[in-house]
Structure 1
Amino acid sequence: MRKSTIVVLSLIVISILSVYFINQPGLTPEQSLPRKELLVYCGITMIQPMSEIATIVEKQENIKISIIKGGSGNLLRSIKFNRLGDLYLPGSESYISQAMKDDLIEESTHIGYNKAAIMVRQGNPKNIPPGVTTLLNPDLYIVIGNPDTGSIGKETKKILTAAGIFNQAMQNAKELTTDSKRLVEVLKKGEADLVINWYATSTWPENSEQIDALPINNEYASKKKLVLGLLKTSKYPELAKKFMDYASSDKGRSIFERYGLYTVDQNI
């Protein structure tokens, strides 16, 4: 499954970058471009604020910005495989740290925080209590993020390991899934009773009337830095830095906050 995911992401990257190479007689690929273009890899939980910021920066700089969304781990593997792109925003700083070890990041900026929560259908029809030991209830249909494909799966593993119940919870889970988008879907469709997901997804307008979030004790679920990285493969690093500057500005952070992501100044 991992190889097929990378192949799909690679094909998406290739199709987006094909815009760079429009066949026009006598013109180089660079001359064929109507506008300079940035390619951004973005974890699913941040896609809405990043899309809004991209629209603003596009207008300010007269450029095009394409965003590829997916599980943070899958995106990192795609970056390694393709060696293309300008910016990378995963759902956890640990992926930026790994990208730095792999010599993929030129510089980075801190834009806010993410935090995990237990999520249930709105109104909590099964009266599920807060607390991670709820994941051991054999009568619940529980879906967990895969720790190898996305930031929420990786964070879930850390939470359950800290609570000393990771192996038991994994055995009790009915399904492993790739990313936060699928975790939202199974709740909204009534296919699961409980998931652990990034809190921000429960605040989005399309989800807020169907999903309730139950807090996880800070002892197990601490806030996670959101760090935007400039890739060493960037064709236009000066434009990528302008995107980074806006995303980390007060205006940029206010956009992230509107979509349920915490700003750097908030205590949670």
Structure 2
Amino acid sequence: MKYITYIVVVLLFTIYCKRISKEQSVSDEPEELLIYCENSMVHPLLELKDEFEDIWNCKIIIHNDCSQNLISLIQYSLKGDLYIPGSQNGFAALKEKHNILITDSVFIGYNPIVLMVERHNPNQYSGNLKSLIANNKAIIIANPETSSLGYETQKILNNEDVYNNLLDNVVSLSVDSRGLIKSVYDKQAQVAISWRSDIYSNIYASELDVIAIPMSDESPPEVYVGLLSSVKNIHLAEVFLDYIAGERATLIFKKYGVTQQKSIVF
């Protein structure tokens, strides 16, 4: 009888230890943040990711894509903590879906739109957008239906009343900013209209010239990180908002051309 009692005690103790061990292993798992990020903003975010994870002993999961695909994923999954589109318009596009909203946001900086042309600008382009509709110039721009860049490009061109005429010269509508620079580098297009920040993260950018568009320099698109209403870990998400508004993150974004000043001097 004592032997049976001993076995029962050992079994109960073993079960208890396993339960405690399991609870500890669960509690030891790092907290997670799920961040949706448009492709144009992913490079600075990746640079900040490791540092934040080390400081706060957490794990950041990044989903990057064009804004259209990101918004569809957010609405389909009903999951996610933060959203960083290429411009403020990404929040408006998300709001149209109604299921997930932005409940708070932090300003990151300005990201002007520029013209990118062949090195040394052999065709002598200026920042005058109306000049782009002449002489059958081959132009590549982003699709306004799929990306923040496309929306902001269309907005600037519409303000100059050239968008519809310019489409006759557009050789392609890119899903987002990816591939625009390479199209000029490969001579598939003479001009690309893209984010100025692309020159800091694209391997072909050093082979091109960048031409400022005065209108975009004066009123550049604004970039924010937004807190999603589907947030799971509100405390960690708010800590990240404070972090990305801080001096360290501001310097990293500035390194990639997204600054809190409206004009950039080269």
Instruction: Tell me if structure 1 keeps the 8 A contact 2:106–2:226.
Output: yes
Picking from 52, 69, 74, the partner of 2:64 is 69
1:31 aligns with 2:26: yes
- TM-score after normalising by structure 2: 0.82
* Cα distance in 2 between the residues matched to 1:220 and 1:239: 35
Picking from 41, 48, 52, the partner of 1:57 is 52
Amino acid at match of 1:70: D
Q: Which residue of 2 aligns with 1:226?
A: 223
Picking from 85, 89, 92, the partner of 1:90 is 85
Q: CA deviation at 1:257?
A: 0.3
TM superposition outliers: structure 1 runs of 4+ over 4 Å: none
**Structure 2 regions of 5+ residues with no counterpart?**
1-20
Q: Which residue of 1 aligns with 2:40?
A: 45
State which structure, 1 or 2, has the greater radius of gyration over its C-alpha atoms: 2
Instruction: Tell me if structure 1 keeps the 8 A contact 2:111–2:221.
Output: yes
Q: CA deviation at 1:132?
A: 0.7
Q: Which residue of 1 aligns with 2:243?
A: 246
Task: Note the 1:127-146 alignment, pairs <5 A.
Answer: 127-146=124-143
* Cα distance in 2 between the residues matched to 1:44 and 1:121: 23
> Once the two structures are superposed, what CA deviation does each residue of 1:158-201 show, in whole Å capped at 9, x if it has no partner?
01110011110112211111101121231233321101101110
* Cα distance in 1 between the residues matched to 2:102 and 2:22: 32
* Cα distance in 2 between the residues matched to 1:27 and 1:100: 41
Q: CA deviation at 1:108?
A: 1.0
**Structure 1 regions of 5+ residues with no counterpart?**
1-25
> Once the two structures are superposed, what CA deviation does each residue of 1:94-129 show, in whole Å capped at 9, x if it has no partner?
222443562422211111111111111222233333
* Cα distance in 2 between the residues matched to 1:221 and 1:42: 25
1:125 aligns with 2:122: yes
Q: Which residue of 1 aligns with 2:182?
A: 185
Q: CA deviation at 1:219?
A: 7.1
Deviates more, 1:65-74 or 1:242-251: 65-74
* Cα distance in 1 between the residues matched to 2:65 and 2:132: 25
* Cα distance in 2 between the residues matched to 1:176 and 1:32: 48
1:158 aligns with 2:162: no
> What is the root-mean-square deviation in Å for CA atoms of aligned residues?
2.4
Q: Which residue of 2 aligns with 1:112?
A: 109
1:176 aligns with 2:173: yes
* Cα distance in 1 between the residues matched to 2:174 and 2:102: 28
Cα 1:141/1:27, change in 2 over 3 Å: farther
Q: Which residue of 2 aligns with 1:213?
A: 210
Q: CA deviation at 1:27?
A: 6.8
Q: CA deviation at 1:138?
A: 4.0
* Cα distance in 1 between the residues matched to 2:80 and 2:47: 19
Instruction: Tell me if structure 2 keeps the 8 A contact 1:121–1:211.
Output: yes
Q: CA deviation at 1:208?
A: 3.6
Instruction: Tell me if structure 1 keeps the 8 A contact 2:108–2:258.
Output: no
Task: Note the 1:245-264 alignment, pairs <5 A.
Answer: 245-263=242-260
Q: How many aligned positions are there?
A: 240
- TM-score after normalising by structure 1: 0.82
* Cα distance in 2 between the residues matched to 1:32 and 1:185: 47
